[in-house]
C-alpha cells in the first residue's frame, strides 16, 4: 500500500479540500481522509492541487503531426481536411506506432489517464487490408501501453466519401466495405484491464442509416460505448436534410443510437429538437473547442444541452493543442462570447466533464473520481508557476481551470503506477516525440 498526502485535492465539490490523505493498493484507491492531519512519515507528498485522472474523450492521434503545419492559408474545415488526408495516405504501421506513442506520452504529461481514440485509419494504401486487418488498431493499443495510459479504441465504421459516394483517395483506407465487415473485424479485438473496445459511426455523411443501425446494434448488444461526429459543420446538416429530410441527430435516433452510452462528438450546429432528443436520451456530448476554433467549425452552446439532460466530455481531437484545462475553460469562455453572458458552467462542472463524465463516456465508470474503490489515477498540478502565483487555496480549482495548463502538471498516477514524475514522463523522453513527428510528416 502507498499513501499519498495531498496539500490540496479536489474531491468533486465546489472547492478543493486541504490535507487529503489517499491510500492506494493494487491500482485502486482504498481510503480517502480529509482534514489536514500531519503527513504520515512514510507517505508521498503531492504539493499543489491533486485532481482525478483526466479523460481525453476524442482523439485522432495521427493528426498530431499536422500541428503548426496547417496554419496561415485562407480556407475552411474542408481545405484542412485535404491536408489531413494527405497525411493519412502516407502513414504506415511503424510510423504510426512512433507517432501515437509520442502523442499519448504528451497526453500523459498533460494529466490524461485515458484516451478515446476515434480510429478510422484501418487499412493499407488503396484500402488493401493488412495481413492482420486490425494491425493499425493494435498499433494504437501498443502505443497507449508504452505511454502508460488507458485506451478506449473507438473503432469507427466509415463507408462513404459523402452521402451516396464511394470512398476516394485516403478514404479507401478507412472503409471496410460494409457495416457487417466492420463488425466482423472489430469482433477480433480483445479488451483488457487497460483497453476497452468501443464503436463509432464516423458521421451520417460517411455511414448510411441502415449501416448506422448495424453499428448501433453491435454496440448495444455488447454494452460498448458508441460515438459519432454530429453536426460539426453546417454543410453536414444540409447534406443530411437534402438526402433524407432529417438532421444527423434525427437520423441517429432513427438508427437506434441515442442512448446513455452514446456520445455526440462536437454537437455544434443543433436545432431545438436535436438538443431535446440528446438530452432525453441522457447522452454525452463531447466538445472539442480548441479544434473547433482551429477548423472554424463554430461555437457549441453546451449549456442548453446540459439543461436538457445531456452530460459533457472534452476532447483534443486534432491535437492543435493537448491541454484539457484549455478545452475545459473554452466551453465556458466560448459560450460567453456567443451569449454576452458569464457563468454558464462552474469550474467543478468543467472539471467533472474532464474527469468523471469523460471517463464514463469511454466505458470507464470506475475512473475519474478520488474516492474509495475508484481506479488510482491522481493528477497533481503545481500552483507555483508564475502564471498561477498569488492564488488562494479556496479558489485553486478556479485558478487551475481558468489559468492553468498542461505545463503545470507535475505528477501523474495511472492505475496506481507513476507515469509522470516531476513533470517528466517516466519512460518516453522528449527527443522521441520530435523524431516521431518528423518521421510521420516526411
With b for 16 or more beta-carbon neighbours within 10 A and e for fewer, the 34-48 pattern comes to eeeeebeeeebebeb
For the bound state, the minimum distance from the C-beta of residue 227 to Zn ion, rounded and expressed in Å, comes to 9
Q: Considering only residues 87-106, where is the footprint of Zn ion by CB under 5 A?
A: none
Task: Determine phi and psi for 259, rounding to 5 degrees.
Answer: -135, 180
Inter-CA distances, 392 with 48, 123, 383, Å: 11, 52, 10
Pick 288 or 428: Cβ nearer Zn ion: 288
For the bound state, the minimum distance from the C-beta of residue 41 to Zn ion, rounded and expressed in Å, comes to 48
Q: What x-and-dash track marks residues 378-417 binding Zn ion by CB under 5 A?
A: ----------------------------------------
For the bound state, the minimum distance from the C-beta of residue 173 to Zn ion, rounded and expressed in Å, comes to 16
Measured between alpha carbons, how far is 417 from 149 in angstroms, rounded to an integer?
A: 10
For the bound state, the minimum distance from the C-beta of residue 120 to Zn ion, rounded and expressed in Å, comes to 9
CB 262 within 8 A of CB 242: no
CB neighbour class for 442 (10 Å; exposed up to 12, middle 13-18, buried from 19): exposed
Measured between alpha carbons, how far is 174 from 158 in angstroms, rounded to an integer?
A: 6
Task: Determine phi and psi for 306, rounding to 5 degrees.
Answer: -65, -45
Pick 156 or 419: Cβ nearer Zn ion: 156
Residue nearest to Zn ion (CB): 317
Catalytic residue among 155, 294, 297, 317: 317
Q: Considering only residues 301-330, where is the footprint of Zn ion by CB under 5 A?
A: 317
Q: Considering only residues 4-63, where is the footprint of Zn ion by CB under 5 A?
A: none
CB neighbour class for 248 (10 Å; exposed up to 12, middle 13-18, buried from 19): buried
Cell 486487418 belongs to residue: 133
For the bound state, the minimum distance from the C-beta of residue 232 to Zn ion, rounded and expressed in Å, comes to 8
Measured between alpha carbons, how far is 112 from 106 in angstroms, rounded to an integer?
A: 9
Pick 358 or 404: Cβ nearer Zn ion: 358
Number of residues that bind Zn ion (CB under 5 A): 1
Pick 7 or 171: Cβ nearer Zn ion: 171
Pairing of β 44-52 and β 2-9: parallel
Is 266 designated active site?
Answer: yes
Catalytic residue among 119, 160, 266, 319: 266
Q: What x-and-dash track marks residues 236-275 binding Zn ion by CB under 5 A?
A: ----------------------------------------
Pick 21 or 297: Cβ nearer Zn ion: 297
Enumerate binding residues for Zn ion (CB under 5 A): 317
Report the catalytic residues: 266, 317
Amino acid at each position: 500500500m502507498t499513501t499519498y498526502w495531498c496539500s490540496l485535492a479536489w474531491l468533486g465539490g465546489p472547492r478543493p479540500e486541504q490535507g487529503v490523505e489517499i491510500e492506494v493498493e493494487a491500482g485502486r484507491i482504498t481510503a480517502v481522509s480529509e482534514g489536514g492531519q500531519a503527513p504520515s512519515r512514510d507517505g508521498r507528498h503531492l504539493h499543489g492541487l491533486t485532481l482525478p485522472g483526466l479523460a481525453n474523450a476524442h482523439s485522432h492521434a495521427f493528426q498530431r503531426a499536422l500541428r503548426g503545419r496547417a496554419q496561415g492559408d485562407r480556407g475552411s474545415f474542408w481545405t484542412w481536411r485535404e491536408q489531413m488526408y494527405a497525411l493519412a495516405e502516407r502513414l504506415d504501421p511503424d510510423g504510426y506506432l512512433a507517432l501515437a506513442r509520442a502523442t499519448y506520452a504528451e497526453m500523459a504529461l498533460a494529466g490524461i489517464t485515458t484516451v478515446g481514440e476515434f480510429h478510422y485509419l484501418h487499412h493499407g494504401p488503396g484500402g488493401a487490408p493488412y495481413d492482420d486487418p486490425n494491425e493499425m488498431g493494435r498499433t494504437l493499443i501498443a502505443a497507449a501501453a508504452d505511454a502508460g495510459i488507458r485506451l478506449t479504441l473507438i473503432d469507427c465504421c466509415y463507408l462513404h466519401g459523402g452521402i451516396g459516394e464511394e470512398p476516394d483517395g485516403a478514404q479507401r483506407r478507412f472503409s471496410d466495405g460494409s457495416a457487417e465487415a466492420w463488425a466482423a473485424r472489430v469482433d477480433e479485438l480483445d479488451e483488457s484491464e487497460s483497453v476497452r473496445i468501443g464503436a463509432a459511426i464516423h458521421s451520417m455523411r460517411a455511414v448510411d442509416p441502415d449501416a448506422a443501425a448495424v453499428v448501433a446494434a453491435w454496440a448495444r448488444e455488447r454494452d460498448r460505448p458508441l460515438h459519432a461526429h454530429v453536426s460539426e459543420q453546417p454543410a453536414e446538416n444540409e447534406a443530411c436534410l437534402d438526402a433524407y429530410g432529417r438532421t444527423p441527430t434525427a437520423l441517429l435516433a432513427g438508427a437506434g443510437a441515442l442512448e446513455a452510452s452514446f456520445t455526440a462528438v462536437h454537437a455544434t450546429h443543433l436545432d431545438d429538437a436535436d438538443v431535446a432528443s440528446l438530452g432525453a436520451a441522457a447522452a454525452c456530448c463531447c466538445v472539442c473547442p480548441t479544434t473547433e476554433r482551429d477548423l472554424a467549425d463554430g461555437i457549441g452552446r453546451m449549456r442548453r444541452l446540459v439543461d436538457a439532460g445531456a452530460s459533457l466530455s472534452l476532447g483534443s481531437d486534432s491535437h492543435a493543442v493537448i491541454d484539457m484545462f484549455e478545452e475545459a475553460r473554452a466551453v465556458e469562455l466560448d459560450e460567453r462570447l456567443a451569449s454576452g453572458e458569464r457563468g454558464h458552467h462552474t469550474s467543478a462542472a468543467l472539471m467533472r466533464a474532464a474527469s468523471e463524465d469523460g471517463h464514463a463516456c469511454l466505458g470507464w465508470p470506475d475512473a475519474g473520481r478520488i474516492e474509495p474503490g475508484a481506479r488510482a489515477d491522481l493528477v497533481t498540478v503545481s500552483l507555483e508557476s508564475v502564471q498561477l502565483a498569488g492564488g488562494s487555496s479556496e479558489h485553486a480549482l478556479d485558478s487551475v481551470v481558468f489559468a492553468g495548463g498542461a505545463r503545470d502538471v507535475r505528477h501523474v498516477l495511472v492505475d496506481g503506477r507513476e507515469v509522470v514524475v516531476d513533470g517528466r514522463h517516466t519512460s518516453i523522453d522528449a527527443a522521441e516525440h520530435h523524431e516521431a513527428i518528423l518521421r510521420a510528416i516526411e
